[in-house]
Amino acid sequence: MKKCNTLQEVRDEIDKIDTKLVDLISERSHLIRQAAAFKNSVDEVKAEDRIDDIMQRVRKRAIELNINPNMISELFNIMIDEMVETEISEFRNDGKF
């Protein structure tokens, strides 16, 4: 992790990370849209077991990195809920539902 020497440097680094986060979320969203093509039902789209696995994995990683796992869970819940809705929409647009 970079050691910053000024508040502006800290803010600049945060801005860079924010851009990377948005880029990664966009990449994840595009992959979610692709996943719809491989599924045969809305239940497969919702994939509760997969969501549970993701949540356990990211909470564990948060703990390893000494950040609040509840915050990470909340962020991922929001992201996953939105992406499931996007995937359902893609699924419907492909005429599978």
Q: Which domain does 89 fall in, by range? A: 7-93
Which range in 28-32, 66-70, 87-91 is most confidently predicted, on average pLDDT? 66-70
**19 pLDDT higher than 60:** yes
Number of domains in the chain: 1
Residue 34: band (very low, low, confident or very high) from pLDDT cuts 50, 70, 90:
confident
Given a cut of 90, is residue 95 above it in pLDDT?
Answer: no
Q: Phi and psi at residue 16, in whole multiples of 5°?
A: -65, -45
For the cut 60, the answer to whether the pLDDT of residue 7 exceeds it is yes
CATH, residue 56: 1.20.59.10
- Confirm whether 82 is domain-assigned: yes
Find all residues with CB under 8 Å of 55, minimum gap 6, and list them.
73, 76, 77
* Whole-model pTM over 0.85: no
Q: Is residue 1 part of a domain?
A: no
